[in-house]
């Protein structure tokens, strides 16, 4: 079984490309199904956030090359036809792929190290793939070890002691701009996790007036009450811009909510004073062309990199410790992988020696038949124990061998086993209901228990 990961993120790819690669939630199921239909794919998962799109697949024998993923991205993003994504794509296999995924889940690869949202996004991506029956033993184990890494990083290090996130970075930028927020009017567009974090941070900063704008009126009023803010419908967007000092935009819209025509009208109606806009949405919600108007300043998610650098430096020591934890979890995963690859060989050896033992007992059946029943039981136990003790060093050597293929060849020749042994343990097909009839190792971990 081969694990392969490929993707783009904020380190390799500018926002202009990332926003076009991000999968809207309503399109993710179709993309996953298309991925699962590709030749050789047994398990599949897609992680799509504002800062990364990563694709994980499990195949039987050969790892897909970068062209496999590039063609899939082009296929599921027709708008990118004619654009080369090769300079931006990273491609990892085996333990390198697992290590990267563990670091992503533990927020060690995030724009802001230690931000909490990514772990939830990984869980959501896993559950989506699982609901489509695209998660098997390999991705299940990778996910469990990744979540274990994340939990240990948060409990055993101080990496998340400060409330750092993209939303927090946006609020830090606001504080740097205005110094005192108590007399400022802030307009917040959106009601998702990042928008709510922004509202929470703004309240802690003592912002004068906070207005929330959502398309869902019921949810908007509920959030406004929770964060001691005002609610305004999107039909009032232009009027709200006229009276705002700062706008923070974090919605799931795939078009510009604030465009140049709207800002031209707002600019003519505003009194003296600057208007700062922070667009932390991907795709972007504010047209970059608005910056040609005097007194209007726009920052997007890439601009926040300079704001978060100080926080990242403070966390470097904790990140070093966190990476040691991740590597420990990687070692656990590697042992699971090695054990899984040796299971068929060990089982075949056990079956072979057991058949020899039974055959020998059958040869002496006439003699054994004259013995008392308790003595025959002792003979049976003695032969089982003797074979187990003889084979125990061989079992250990198989499990600890760095080259499974080499030890398989040696054991096969030495004990006369069939040459066509399977190379991995029996695994359910992607179409089976993983959450139902098939029992996966450590599945109780999803309910909060420790993995086996």
d(CA 171, CA 98): 34
**Measuring CA to CA, which residue among 303, 253, 255, 254 is closest to residue 277?**
303
Beta-strand relationship, 52-59 and 2-9 = antiparallel
Q: Does the annotation list 128 as a binding residue? A: no
Token look-up 């070890």 returns: 145
- Say if residue 110 carries a ligand binding annotation: yes
Q: Across the strands, what pairs with 209?
A: 185
Place of tokens 């919605």: 251
52 annotated to bind ligand: yes
| 121 marked ligand binding residue | yes
Task: Mark 142-173 as b/e (b = at least 16 C-beta within 10 Å).
Answer: bbbbbbbbbbbbbeebebbeeebbbbbbbbbb
**Spatial contact of 291 and 274, defined as CB atoms under 8 Å apart:** no
| Cα gap 302→249, rounded to integer Å | 14
Q: Is 193 annotated as a binding residue?
A: yes
SS3 118: helix
Is 414 a residue of the active site?
Answer: no
Give the span between the Cα atoms of 246 and 162, in whole angstroms: 24
- Quote the tokens at residue 356: 């020899």
Any binding-site annotation on 192? yes
Q: Are 232 and 211 in contact (CB under 8 A)?
A: yes
The answer to whether 195 is annotated as binding is yes
Cβ atoms of residues 319 and 158 within 8 Å: no
Instruction: Single out the catalytic residue among 50, 171, 249, 414.
Output: 50
Would the annotation count 116 as a binding residue?
A: yes
| Residue written as token pair 């793939």 | 129
DSSP state string for 358-374: HHHHHHTHHHHTTS-HH
Backbone angles phi, psi at 212, to 5 degrees: -100, 140
Has 190 been labeled as part of a binding site?
A: yes
- The helix/strand/coil state of 128 is helix
Q: Does residue 373 have a known ligand-binding role?
A: no
CB 165 within 8 A of CB 197: yes
- As annotated, the binding site for substrate includes 49-52, 110, 115-117, 121
- As annotated, the binding site includes 49-52, 110, 115-117, 121, 190-195
List active site positions.
Answer: 50
- As annotated, the binding site for NADP(+) includes 190-195
């Amino acid at each position: 079984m081969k694990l392969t990961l490929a993707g783009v993120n904020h380190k390799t790819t500018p926002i202009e490309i990332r926003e076009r690669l991000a999968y809207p939630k309503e399109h993710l199921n179709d993309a996953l199904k298309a991925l699962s239909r590709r030749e050789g794919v047994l398990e599949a998962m897609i992680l799509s956030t504002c800062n990364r799109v990563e694709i994980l697949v499990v195949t039987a024998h050969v790892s897909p090359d970068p062209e496999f993923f590039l063609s899939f991205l082009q296929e599921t993003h027709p708008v990118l036809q004619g654009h080369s994504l090769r300079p931006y794509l990273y491609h990892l296999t085996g333990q390198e792929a697992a290590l990267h995924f563990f670091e992503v889940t533990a927020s060690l690869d995030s724009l802001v190290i230690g931000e909490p949202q990514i772990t939830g996004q990984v869980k959501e991506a896993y559950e989506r793939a699982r609901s489509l029956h695209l998660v098997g033993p390999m991705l299940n184990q990778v996910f469990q070890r990744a979540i274990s890494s994340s939990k240990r990083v948060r409990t055993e290090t101080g990496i998340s002691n400060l409330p750092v996130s993209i939303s927090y970075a946006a609020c830090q930028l606001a504080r740097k701009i205005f110094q005192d927020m108590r007399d400022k009017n802030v307009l917040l567009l959106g009601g998702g996790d990042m928008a709510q974090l922004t509202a929470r941070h703004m309240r802690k900063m003592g912002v004068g007036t906070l207005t929330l704008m959502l398309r869902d009126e019921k949810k908007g009023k509920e959030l406004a009450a929770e964060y001691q803010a005002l609610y305004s419908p999107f039909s009032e967007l232009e009027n709200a811009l006229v009276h705002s000092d700062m706008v923070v935009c974090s919605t799931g819209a795939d078009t510009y909510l604030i465009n140049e025509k709207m800002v031209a009208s707002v600019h003519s109606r505003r009194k003296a004073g600057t208007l700062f806009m922070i667009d932390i949405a991907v795709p972007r919600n504010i047209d970059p062309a608005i910056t040609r108007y005097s007194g209007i300043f726009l920052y997007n998610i890439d601009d926040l990199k300079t704001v978060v650098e100080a926080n990242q430096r403070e966390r470097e020591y904790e990140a070093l410790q966190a990476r040691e934890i991740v590597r420990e979890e990687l070692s656990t995963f590697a042992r699971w992988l090695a054990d899984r690859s040796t299971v068929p060989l060990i089982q075949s050896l056990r079956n072979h020696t057991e058949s020899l033992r039974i055959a020998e007992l059958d040869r002496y059946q006439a003699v054994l038949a004259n013995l008392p029943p308790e003595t025959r039981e002792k003979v049976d136990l003695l032969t089982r124990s003797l074979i187990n003790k003889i084979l125990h060093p061989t079992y250990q050597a198989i499990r600890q061998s760095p080259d499974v293929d080499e030890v398989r060849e040696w054991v096969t020749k030495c004990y006369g086993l069939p040459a066509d042994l399977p190379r991995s343990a029996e695994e359910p097909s992607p179409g089976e209901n993983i959450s139902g009839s098939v029992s996966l190792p450590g599945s109780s971990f999803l309910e909060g228990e420790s993995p086996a």
